[in-house]
Structure 1
Amino acid sequence: MSDSALGAPHLQGATRRNRGRNTLPSQKKAEKLCAGPRRKALLLPAPDRMVTSNGNGTGYAQTSFVHLGDSARLALMLEPSGRGPFRSQAQDVLSLLSNALQEQSRPMSVVNQTVFLRRAEDQKLCEHILSDFYGPHQPATNFLFQAPCSGAALAMEAWAIGGESVRVEHYSPQVLAVSYDRVRFIYCAGIKPASGLTSRKVYPGVLNALESLDHALRQAGSRFEHIVRLWYYLGGVTAPEGRLQRYFELNRARTDFYRNIPFGGAFVAKRNGHPLERGQLVRANRRSADILVRSKRGELKLARKSITRNTFEAGCGQECPRSASAIYPASTGIGMQGRQLIVSCIALETSRPDLVLVPLENPHQTPPCLYPPRYSPESPKFARATAMSLGDYVTTWISGTASVLNSESCHAGDIAKQTEQTIDNIERLIAPANFKQHGLLGAGATLRDLAKVRVYLKRQKDFSACQAICQRRFGNVPAIYAIADVCRPELLVEIEGVAFSKRLNR
């Protein structure tokens, strides 16, 4: 494991010092990027916002700067300007990355990245190019076989972080941890099942990949129940597997794996003053629900209630409001070329008593864990979003979102209406009124508080129409558009993102 502090000498192992390693993307460029003449003055957002964006969904290098006090995050969406050989396009992307980092007011380190590839056979060359660029300590990296809608051979989403107190720990090429403000984020990327498992059978492949993910988290000193965001990239997601769909088998596997995992337990049910008060739904399936209740001594505990057909819509009498959510991580389950499975996640560790996690559900959508069996024999286990309240701000990880109301798909065959509905769903999900309904007062966000979005499109021909709507609705929020199959045949678009917003009037 390699441990480093930005702006300070790096530690190689427990005792040996190795100056200049891994503070920035390339060892050869470290001094230039740390103190180069191109650095700009810090751009501050509007007083009530945390995010400063310069994207519009069309530029080759779109960025959002997230102000976190003594530290900062930078979201980068990068595509090459040319259309030459793969190597030249990849080098173009890395040049854009270097330039964007040089323009920041402080040194920043890339900690995780996702590379979208048009051709799977370009992955090996891309790995070699990135290794030359970053040196021995690379960001946690996903390689996805999802063609950029722009026609480029590749596109990149990257996250960088900077600040005096920031420390970066490398555990393996797939596992990295970032610490600041007494919070530690663990990034795991590119986790796969044993060779060939998923191409033959999804169910054992998913179980094997999740076991590998659990091992990776333990390697970094974390646990599976501390995951706040998950991604499942499944080749042939809507293809048949026996009598079922491959996505259905993914749902069956994660249901079984999650069965005894108390997601968020350290930050949800055990915090004094937590917004989940008496009557909030903690975990549910189609037959029963665990309800958070307060004992006579004032302690929070779980009580099981049976669920009837109309229980959730009716609100379980006076004890289970419609907005209540099962505690599962925010998640995306999306297709890609081929038959592989790739899993990645973000987990967190902290001793801070003011950190609270709240799973969010949409007031106009059925929680996924309560979907009727026609959409999957085992319902998908995820929350519409996970909100992390920490100090005076909230980070909201938004799950892959589509044109769904209640549990039904809407606007079949109409990309414009599906895109509008999808964005409407995101807007309602992160609105202050929905946060209030979930018990998190003084919190909430708008579409302009998004640091970035990914837009997955089923059909290339829908790109222009979808992009035009996204540019109008999201404004300057950086965006990447990629071709990927959505989990239902009739759904044409899926959008995910992350928002940063201030928490006021607490």
Structure 2
Amino acid sequence: MPHFAVNGLVLNNLCFSPEAGTTLSEKLADCYKQYAESTVNLTQHSVIRQTIFISSKSNSEYHQNKRKLFACAKLFFEKVPPTSIIAQLPDNGSLIVEIVCIEGLKPGELTFKQNDAASWLVIQRNAMKMIVAAGLSENKESNCILQQSTTAFELLQNILLEEEMEFSDIIRQWNYIEKITAHADYNNSVSQHYQIFNDVRTKFYQLSNFENGFPAATGIGMDFGGITIDFIAAKLDSKSSIIGVKNPVQHDAYNYSEEVLAENSAMIDFCKTTPKFERAKVLITPEGKWLFVSGTAAITGELSSEQSCIKQQTEMTIQNIQRLISPENLHNYGIDCSGKVTLKYLRAYIKHKSHIPQVKEICRKHFPEVHIAFVVADVCRPELLIEIEGEAVIH
């Protein structure tokens, strides 16, 4: 069971694929059954976040499936944890669910909160406070990526304000963007979905001072659903810290030149700004070090690989991750790696379904003991075929 400890708490990252069921709801119910049967010390109350990946053929079908799956989740959970339902085809062709659960909480340390538009969890242990939120979305059919991006960030901002936090307190953020490299017509000119999202992100992020760097993040495509954001944020105690980590072979995304950015004519005040994320973030507590690996692709410097072969791009992506989390690189940021860095979980986003077998073979060669989820999704640049993210423990 992939797990790691933070501040005396043990976090488990589990993934379930249905073994029975015909409808998506029946398949999700079977995954919940597997969870209940396979976890001895964990209950439904241990779950702090879930991500459900499904196949959908249209926005209307996606939203219909989303409602049905939430209804199924309500039958299993007394209070449904922060949940994202993502229109990315899983490798089994139907549905998989990732469940993040926690051990070691004392009564009163976990609080479920909600407002009119979102729900989130607050973990309070001693002086450390952590927020876990998922599924931040306009939650209705819309063709306007600008409005959907703005709404998602407003939902995020409202949670932070409620918890007396800022955007700079976000440690990890997942950004799911419908048809990420597609273009929409704004002001008689084309604007790329991902660039619109990045410019909206910049507009909100400017409200904070990111002294410890931007969050680790993934910006990835999905077939339908507009914009969905998940995030983890924390206010740390005096004994804990958060450190941003650069990749020795990649430029910081927030320092990209204009040449590798796309067009956005949808906004007047913010236009053609860079993606705001760190290549990795390390959360250090007295009990351990938790490493978030941002979505990583076959990019050197700021340029995409010239290779159009999935095998070569996958190998290059893995090499970029290995350089990023190497003890030598982490030492550059004052992070003690006297033991080793152990990857606990990976998620691979693959542009073409036909490439899944090749990617699986390569990933399992490099990471035979790591659980890896495989889903089909467009990457942030049209020429990129794969992106991989992960979590690790530093010993």
194 and 467 in structure 1: CA distance in 2 versus 1, 3 angstrom threshold: closer
Cα deviations by residue, 1:221-244 (Å, 9 ceiling, x for unpaired): 433221111111110110012323
**Separation in 2, partners of 1:484, 1:440:** 33
**Partner residue in 2 for 1:360:** 245
Deviates further, 185-194 or 336-345: 185-194
Q: CA deviation at 1:181?
A: 5.5
Paired amino acid for 1:175? W
Matched, 1:207 2:156: no
User: Contact 1:168/1:177 (CA < 8 Å) preserved in 2?
Assistant: yes
Q: Does 1:84 align with 2:26?
A: no
For 2:173, the equivalent position in structure 1 comes to: 230
> What is the Cα deviation at residue 69 of structure 1?
7.6
Secondary structure at the aligned position of 1:250 is classed as: helix
Residue 119 of structure 2 corresponds to which residue in structure 1? Answer: 174
How many angstroms does 1:472 deviate by? 1.2
Partner letter of residue 134 of structure 1? F
Alpha-carbon deviation of 1:124?
1.5
Selected match of 2:96 from 155, 158, 165 = 155
> Once the two structures are superposed, what CA deviation does each residue of 1:375-430 show, in whole Å capped at 9, x if it has no partner?
21322111001111111521111111111111111153211111111111111111
The answer to whether the Cα contact below 8 Å between 1:203 and 1:252 also exists between their aligned partners in 2 is no
**Aligned pair in 2 of structure 1 residues 338, 185: CA closer, same or farther (>3 Å)?**
same
Q: TM-score, normalised by structure 2?
A: 0.88
**Is the Cα–Cα contact under 8 Å of residues 64 and 451 in structure 1 kept in the other structure?**
yes
Contact map agreement 2:293 2:390 (CA 8 A) in 1: yes
**TM superposition score normalised by structure 1:** 0.69
Partner of 2:367: 474
Gaps of 5+ in 2: 57-61, 262-271
Q: Does 1:128 align with 2:74?
A: no
Partner of 2:268: none
Offset from partner CA, 1:164-193 (integer Å, 9 cap, x none): 537210012621112335422201111114
Find out whether 1:247 has 2:206 as its counterpart: no
CA distance in 2, matches of 1:230, 1:464: 28
CA distance in 1, matches of 2:29, 2:45: 20
Structure-1 separation of matches of 2:224 and 2:331: 43
Q: Is the 8 A contact 2:337 2:394 kept in 1?
A: no
**Alignment correspondent of 1:337:** 223
CA RMSD of aligned residues (A): 2.2
Q: Which residue of 1 aligns with 2:129?
A: 184
Tell me the equivalent position of 2:269: none
Task: Report the residue type matching 1:113 in the other structure.
Answer: Q
Percent of paired sites with the same residue: 27
Where does residue 465 of structure 1 map in the other structure? 358
Report if aligned partners of 1:359, 1:384 keep a CA contact under 8 Å in 2. Answer: yes
- CA displacement at 1:133 relative to structure 2: 0.4
TM-aligned CA distance change 1:336 to 1:69, over 3 Å: closer
Change (3 A) 1:381 1:65: closer
> In the TM superposition, what is the alpha-carbon distance from 1:68 to its structure 2 partner?
5.0
Bigger Cα Rg: 1
Partner residue, 2:299: 404
Contact conserved, 1:204 with 1:253, CA < 8 A, in 2? no
Which whole-Å CA distance do the structure 2 matches of 1:223 and 1:256 have between them?
A: 14
- Cα deviation 1:454-478 (Å, max 9, x = unaligned): 1111100000000111111112211
Counterpart in the other structure of 2:264: none
Question: Counterpart in 2 of 1:499?
Answer: 392
